[in-house]
Amino acid sequence: MLKFFNSLFGRVVIALVAGIVIGALFPHFAQSLRPLGDGFLKLIKMVIGPIVFCVVVSGMAHAGDLKKVGRVGLKAVVYFEIMTTIALVIGAVLAYATRPGVGMNIDLHSLDPASLASYTEHAKSLKDTAGFLLKIIPETAIDAFAKGDILQILVFSVLVGSALSLLGPRVRHVNSLIDELAQVFFRVMSFIIKLAPLGVLGAIAFTTGTYGVASLKQLGMLVVVFYASCFVFVAVVLGVVMRLAGFSVFKLIRYLREELSIVLGTASSDAVLPQIMRKLEWMGVKDSTVGLVIPTGYSFNLDGFSIYLTLAVIFIAQATNTPLSMHDLIVVVLVSLVTSKGAHGIPGSAIVILAATLSAIPAIPVLGLVLILPVDWFVGIARALTNLIGNCVATVVVAVWENDIDKARARRVLNLDSDLRFVPTSTDLEGETGHANPAHAV
């Protein structure tokens, strides 16, 4: 029991329960705790851009052969698109099977369009493929980091990583500098992650105080169906994929339980990016593969988000009694394959991308997005959890595909072999005994 209370996982769980209690008993005070959650997420976003840059550039530079980098990248993108398509279809199928919006009979004239103004403004640049492609090219390299746009940072990182890989030994000092910068930012993140219990407390207390305890269990059919959709995707789709790769998705989830508990409380997977990468390396995945697949997946492999896109679109159509043809559904899936790639790093990303998707489908009223605003935070929890699990599975699958994983070690780690228990390196936690980077030990 003492071990539980001393662990980050235990402190996050305690903060989660305390937040619900405070929100239920002292709702006005709980609402004032919102800055704790917002501040924690802002601290995370402050260093995510530099971390993504360092790990992508370092991964490409150390991979050496650009053909291998291209091969890994191509396999990752193919996998991402297959999983995204399956996720979009699952959201659509379950929406039609359960019909969560049927019977609401919403009159569009009763909805307030003002609440959507800020979201639709962001969606304008994502209306078409050309707009999306232009958006991922930064005005300047500094501008990408200033805005925290992960897609733009990825574009710049790939260019820099390719250049360093081609230049080889001539720029080894630059490679060393980037590796050292990565360690610095990982250390900064380790400081921030210690504040996770406070961030969870503030976020969950505010939400409970604002919507009430009942809202945690009675959010409506849409939320129930979405959580069920995510469970089906993880247990069935990702479960089968992991089994084909020779592993169990449930053992992987157990191995990552500490990181997933932080995502559960904050509805954001950014906070655990460095720790997730270290754990995947520790279980035997080559560091260059982790460094390429995980950061790229944060923008291109949003499984939970993809499920929600089609589910929410069909929900709005059902709630407003808008008939949808098969052509409309095909357009929804095809447009979502593009718009979902711009989700990460956009304020209110789910609503923004939904607005961009609906703007391409005149049959469905964009104003219907007002209906899902109150539950966006709650579905955001399952979105973030599913996205993170999906990216970890993608990394394992691509590693198996490329023979970049020590399968025997991975099985021992996932079986919680005491001799291979994950131990943070000296870069992760101040005061811990230093250990060699596990990425280079396998």
Query: What sections of 99-140 are H helices per DSSP?
Result: 117-123, 129-135
> What integer pLDDT is reported at residue 171 of this predicted model?
83
Tell me if 12 sits within 8 A of 200, measured CB to CB: yes
Q: 442 versus 208: which is more confidently predicted?
A: 208
> What integer pLDDT is reported at residue 313 of this predicted model?
86
C-alpha to C-alpha distance for 236 and 218, rounded to whole angstroms: 26
> What integer pLDDT is reported at residue 253 of this predicted model?
94
Taking the model in full, what pTM does it have?
0.69
Q: 79 versus 101: which is more confidently predicted?
A: 79
Instruction: Look at residue 89 and tell me whether its pLDDT is greater than 50.
Output: yes
Tell me if 356 sits within 8 A of 305, measured CB to CB: no
What's the rounded mean pLDDT across residues 299-311? 86
> What integer pLDDT is reported at residue 347 of this predicted model?
45
Long-range contacts at 236-241 (CB < 8 A, ≥ 24 apart): 237/83, 237/86, 237/87, 237/90, 238/303, 238/389, 238/390, 238/393, 241/83, 241/393, 241/397
C-alpha to C-alpha distance for 233 and 241, rounded to whole angstroms: 11
pLDDT in tens, 241-268: 999 999 999 999 999 988 898 888 777 7
288: Cβ contacts below 8 Å, ≥ 6 apart = 59, 60, 62, 63, 69, 72, 404
> What integer pLDDT is reported at residue 433 of this predicted model?
35
C-alpha to C-alpha distance for 363 and 116, rounded to whole angstroms: 18
- Coil vs helix vs strand at 405: strand
Q: Which helix (H) or strand (E) holds 139?
A: none
Q: Which helix (H) or strand (E) holds 158?
A: helix 150-167
C-alpha to C-alpha distance for 391 and 295, rounded to whole angstroms: 9
How many CA atoms are closer than 13 Å to the CA of 144, on its beta-carbon side? 20
> What integer pLDDT is reported at residue 212 of this predicted model?
62
C-alpha to C-alpha distance for 386 and 392, rounded to whole angstroms: 10
Query: What sections of 168-234 are H helices per DSSP?
Result: 172-193, 196-211, 214-217, 221-232
- Coil vs helix vs strand at 136: coil
C-alpha to C-alpha distance for 94 and 90, rounded to whole angstroms: 6
Tell me if 72 sits within 8 A of 289, measured CB to CB: yes
Q: What Rg value do the Cα atoms of the chain yield, rounded? A: 22
C-alpha to C-alpha distance for 272 and 161, rounded to whole angstroms: 23
CB count within 10 Å of CB 74 equals: 10
> What integer pLDDT is reported at residue 231 of this predicted model?
94
Residue corresponding to tokens 């370092």: 58
CB burial readout 326-363, b (16+ within 10 A) else e: eebbebbbebbebbbbbbbbbebbbbbbbbbbbbbbee
Instruction: Look at residue 358 and tell me whether its pLDDT is greater than 60.
Output: yes
Q: Domain tally for the chain?
A: 1
CA distances from 337 to 37, 154, 219 (A): 31, 18, 28
Q: 2 versus 295: which is more confidently predicted?
A: 295
Instruction: Look at residue 213 and tell me whether its pLDDT is greater than 60.
Output: no
Q: How confident is the model at residue 65 (pLDDT cuts 50, 70, 90)?
A: low
Tell me if 49 sits within 8 A of 153, measured CB to CB: yes
C-alpha to C-alpha distance for 142 and 23, rounded to whole angstroms: 41
What's the rounded mean pLDDT across residues 393-398? 94
Q: Which helix (H) or strand (E) holds 305?
A: helix 303-319
- Coil vs helix vs strand at 285: strand
Domain range for residue 7?
A: 2-440
285: Cβ contacts below 8 Å, ≥ 6 apart = 395, 396, 399, 404, 405, 410
Give the CA angle between residues 264, 279, 8 to the nearest 5°. 45
CA dihedral angle for residue 366, residue 372, residue 373, residue 379, rounded to 10 degrees: -130
pLDDT in tens, 314-350: 888 888 888 877 877 887 787 777 666 655 544 456 6
CATH code (residue 372): 1.10.3860.10
Quick one: tokens of 50?
A: 């530099």
3-state helix vs strand vs coil in the chain, percent to 5: 80, 0, 20
